[in-house]
Structure 1
Amino acid sequence: MFGKRFIPYFVLVCLAVLLASCTTTPPEIPEPEVVPPERRQRVSFTDLPDWNTDNMKAVWPAFLNSCRAIGKRTDWQNICLKARGIDKNDQAAIRTFFESYFDPYRIVGENGSDTGLATGYYEPLLTGSRNRKGKFQTALYRQPDDLLVIDLASAYPQLKGLRLRGKLEGHRVVPYDTRAEIEKSGKLDGNEIVWVDDVLDAFFLEIQGSGRVYLPESGETIRLAYANQNGRPYRSIGRYLLDKGELKPGQASAQQIKEWIRKNPERLREVLDANPSYVFFREEKITDPEEGPKGALGIPLTAERSIAVDPRHIPLGAPVFIDTTQPYSPVPLRKLVMAQDTGGAIKGAVRADYFWGFGSDAGKQAGKMKQKLKIWLLLPKQPEK
């Protein structure tokens, strides 16, 4: 598997015990796989539906953000340097810029199909307190001290980008606790950042990866950003309820899941514990309320112009043209976006999580989105041979 016939016993033990805890996290992003030519087909910009009518001014700030993160890379240096001279208000100039410095590639999935899945996410707003009292009974936690993140890439380059998460149990490294085990043990007591007033909002904040919390006592609003995860695989509670026959296909939006749980409060713990993954946060101050949370590239996301992708297939920072539809609608959603984030459930070449922005309206759109998707990856033009 790794090109060597012998791997030290320690590595075998780690892989066997912690395989379920293997995930990728920023800032170490896995190198994209070498995609076979038949799965990355060069096309013309005229093949991109509605390319000429997209609002280029809207995507330009997101593109410049990508340059902040990857502009020093060899194949991006000249492009990002040239971008500084483009008038941000000149639609034609921006469109010509992309056509001059990039080539579009139609992306096909591992199954040979060019059609995949688009979902949505957003930055929610919760209400909380620094202290547990009254209606504020659900904690959001910082990363615990006993969480180990093991990097084997320095010894085994084949494992670059993979992290093994676990904890010490005597002299053994074992997988970190599941959601159910964490909640039952109370082991995170003392690691609370804030207490919020809704257990479901707290759970869905973990799925979104970041969010804001308004503290009425001080009038302050803080941001909770993704810090780490327990290493357990993400399991959709919507899928769990579908498999149990509690919801029907097409009824597993975030809003419908919340409604079902509120009608069946006695099953709350059962449903939430069906997802063994658990996310830990860090607190950040909000200096600009208009600025989105930071994605996997470490730069702010742009509402409706940033997406999360599988970085094994789509290089982070790259422009991607998407062809999908509005949630629960046949109305086309075709535009240029930037691959600036990742997600535990975002797996595959033709797969994207569309960032809708901040607040309840964005949440309504994100919670409903589960649409067919086609994508074209824009890569820097290669020098003529």
Structure 2
Amino acid sequence: MPRRALGAIAVAGAAWVAGCTTPPPPPAAVLPAPMTQADPVPATRPPAGTGSVAGQARTFSTQLATYTSVSFGAVPGWGRDDFAESWPAFLGSCKVLTARGAEWKSVCARAGTVDGKSNPAIRGFFESEFSAYQIRDDDRRPDGVVTGYFEPEIAGNRSYAAPYIYPVYGQPEDMLFADARKLPAGNSTVAARVEGRNVVVQSGLSTRDMGAPGLYALDLSAVTRDTLDRKVRLRIEGRQLLPYYTREEIETKGAPNAKVLAFVSSATALYEMQIQGSGRIRLPNGEVIRVAYAEQNGQPFRPTLAQNAAGKARSPVKVRGSSIELELDDGDDEGDVGTDAIRTRGFTLARPTASGAVVVPGRRTAGAVAGSGIKDPSYIFFKEAPGGAGGPVGAFGVPLQAGRSIAVDPRSTPLGYPVFVSTRTPGSGAPMQRLTIAQDTGGAIRGAVRADYFFGNGQQAATNARRMKERGQLWILLPRGLEVAAASAAGTLRTRGAAVGADLPQCLVPQEGACVDD
């Protein structure tokens, strides 16, 4: 699509909403266990079933990606990596993956017998237990975008007083949730009940029944269905269920049902912390509050992109459903971003021209309510997290490891899985080729060949993360014997990114929950 500021993209409301339910996935197939003479064979292995993958021996596809089997020797830089650095992150993932099936339980059990300080032993473990598959996008291109993120630190206070006037909200108590996978197809208005914090659509009822006690009207045309966690965030207003408040509504009306964790002095710094997904707030007395992602308002990520002198967006993107995907344009958006822009997770965003006070329930506003000036409707709510020297907890529920954890799009790369990344070091351009573990997600991380490299915390981490926007390739490591959701051979034929002849599965494994950011 043309490179232009996202705010200038005019799309009808229905284009942001998936108007049909997901078709049932094709029958599962079993991942082949390609072996070479150099591959050591483990003493035990999960039993392999019969059948092919996507009708082919070495390639299968999903709606977003194509996966092609390669030998480990064909992965650039594989033999030179220090696998001992990635081992703690992998063992952290095993704490969660052992509950994801017999293959992972067996693999992680055998990992406990490996010498975690021996690079040859760890490399041999991965080569014997896993098969490497290169990830390509839905047009079968191997190159994608690798960016960076970090854990920021900003100045704040527990109490409201200038200059600390921007609230850091916890999760609102009035937020309700509906499972997007269980919503009826189409854009009609349906009747629903509220059970605790969950919204349940009532089948067989018409609009005439919506006045009955306990029933609410839910307009499906206003719902954003294609969130990564498949959850729709709603609120009650009268007898209606409406999408949860936008950023502008939260800033101009306040969030009376959300606890305020702290107040900060910069709306722009708070916005960057929301995009990063975690952070530290340093109080005047030196105390540090660590915050982690708790929830989002369910609105799509729609940042205002900075423009170059020609009036084109400095961060080219493409739109898919309600999400945007960062595209790489070599030679564009390099160097110092200047004082009028913000570089975060690969995007170069326009800095708000003016930021004013926002409404804080129960507080007298320090000045006229003008809002932050940030037009992005999405909003992140935080929770206080334990302190300590370790990394923040990512979406997979384990602490992130600087240099070895990445954020991914879980629709194409399931969380917890090992992923080998080949890209370049920001600044020097030297090869950066290493095994990482997919342990986090982000509203800005969309696309099949897409990775966001966690640099840690501190000024150097911030500098490296903001500079990181490089072309890269990804190889996912899948346990041998793992079932994958395979399409028919005809389903791998594509025209302009669309599947022809078969409905492709959404997730590369049969359990869709593995590709959902819960």
User: Is 1:87–2:115 an aligned residue pair?
Assistant: yes
Partner residue in 2 for 1:283:
384
Q: Secondary structure at the match of 1:266?
A: coil
User: Is 1:266–2:354 an aligned residue pair?
Assistant: yes
1:234 CA drift (Å) = 0.6
Question: What are the superposed Cα offsets for residues 12-41 of structure 1, whole Å, 9 maximum, x if unpaired?
Answer: xxx979949xxxxxxxxxxxxx85289211
User: Is 1:250–2:338 an aligned residue pair?
Assistant: no
User: Is 1:225–2:252 an aligned residue pair?
Assistant: no
Partner residue in 2 for 1:323:
422
- C-alpha contact (below 8 Å) 2:170/2:258 kept by paired residues: no
Partner residue in 2 for 1:200:
268
- C-alpha contact (below 8 Å) 2:83/2:122 kept by paired residues: yes
When normalised by structure 1's length, the TM-score is 0.82
Partner residue in 1 for 2:96:
69
Matches within 5 A, 1:135-214: 135-151=163-179, 153=181, 161-188=229-256, 191-214=259-282
Partner residue in 2 for 1:367:
466
CA 1:272/1:54 → structure 2, altered by over 3 Å: closer, same or farther? farther
1:198 CA drift (Å) = 2.2
Aligned equivalents of 1:48 and 1:306: distance in 2? 19
Q: Secondary structure at the match of 1:339?
A: strand
Amino acid at match of 1:266: A
Partner residue in 2 for 1:105:
133
1:83 CA drift (Å) = 1.0
CA 1:141/1:263 → structure 2, altered by over 3 Å: closer, same or farther? closer
- C-alpha contact (below 8 Å) 1:320/1:376 kept by paired residues: yes
Higher radius of gyration, 1 or 2: 2
- C-alpha contact (below 8 Å) 2:174/2:235 kept by paired residues: yes
Partner residue in 2 for 1:123:
151
Aligned equivalents of 1:270 and 1:244: distance in 2? 29
Q: Secondary structure at the match of 1:108?
A: strand
- C-alpha contact (below 8 Å) 2:301/2:377 kept by paired residues: yes
Aligned equivalents of 1:190 and 1:244: distance in 2? 43
Q: Secondary structure at the match of 2:413?
A: coil
CA 1:353/1:85 → structure 2, altered by over 3 Å: closer, same or farther? same
Question: What are the superposed Cα offsets for residues 137-177 of structure 1, whole Å, 9 maximum, x if unpaired?
Answer: 22111112222221254688x99941111211211111222
- C-alpha contact (below 8 Å) 1:105/1:376 kept by paired residues: yes
The answer to which of 106-115 and 135-144 deviates more is 135-144
CA 1:96/1:264 → structure 2, altered by over 3 Å: closer, same or farther? closer
The answer to which of 301-310 and 138-147 deviates more is 138-147
1:364 CA drift (Å) = 1.0
- C-alpha contact (below 8 Å) 2:83/2:123 kept by paired residues: yes
Aligned equivalents of 2:336 and 2:118: distance in 1? 39
Which residue of the other structure, out of 47, 50, 55, is the alignment partner of 2:82? Answer: 55
Aligned equivalents of 1:309 and 1:262: distance in 2? 24
Aligned equivalents of 1:95 and 1:144: distance in 2? 46
Identity of aligned residues (%): 38
Aligned equivalents of 2:415 and 2:262: distance in 1? 32
Question: What are the superposed Cα offsets for residues 224-260 of structure 1, whole Å, 9 maximum, x if unpaired?
Answer: 11111111111233x2545993975415977752499
5+ long unaligned stretches in structure 2 = 1-12, 19-53, 55-59, 185-224, 315-331, 357-369, 483-518
1:372 CA drift (Å) = 0.6
Q: Paired residues, what number?
A: 353
1:373 CA drift (Å) = 1.1
Aligned equivalents of 2:69 and 2:154: distance in 1? 44
Partner residue in 1 for 2:442:
343
CA 1:262/1:311 → structure 2, altered by over 3 Å: closer, same or farther? closer
Amino acid at match of 2:480: K
Aligned equivalents of 2:410 and 2:352: distance in 1? 38
Q: Secondary structure at the match of 2:446?
A: coil
- C-alpha contact (below 8 Å) 2:157/2:263 kept by paired residues: yes
Partner residue in 1 for 2:142:
114
Partner residue in 2 for 1:294:
393
State the superposition RMSD in angstroms: 3.3
Question: What are the superposed Cα offsets for residues 259-312 of structure 1, whole Å, 9 maximum, x if unpaired?
Answer: 9999974378798532111100111221x31x1111111110110101111111
Aligned equivalents of 1:348 and 1:17: distance in 2? 18
Question: What are the superposed Cα offsets for residues 27-57 of structure 1, whole Å, 9 maximum, x if unpaired?
Answer: xxxxxxx852892111101011111111111
Q: Secondary structure at the match of 1:213?
A: strand
Amino acid at match of 2:235: K
1:91 CA drift (Å) = 1.0
Partner residue in 2 for 1:5:
none
CA 1:139/1:81 → structure 2, altered by over 3 Å: closer, same or farther? same
CA 1:263/1:97 → structure 2, altered by over 3 Å: closer, same or farther? closer
User: Is 1:307–2:406 an aligned residue pair?
Assistant: yes
- C-alpha contact (below 8 Å) 1:225/1:282 kept by paired residues: yes
The answer to which of 101-110 and 140-149 deviates more is 140-149
1:114 CA drift (Å) = 0.5
Amino acid at match of 2:113: G
Amino acid at match of 2:419: V
1:367 CA drift (Å) = 1.1
CA 1:124/1:49 → structure 2, altered by over 3 Å: closer, same or farther? same
Aligned equivalents of 1:370 and 1:39: distance in 2? 23
- C-alpha contact (below 8 Å) 2:303/2:349 kept by paired residues: no
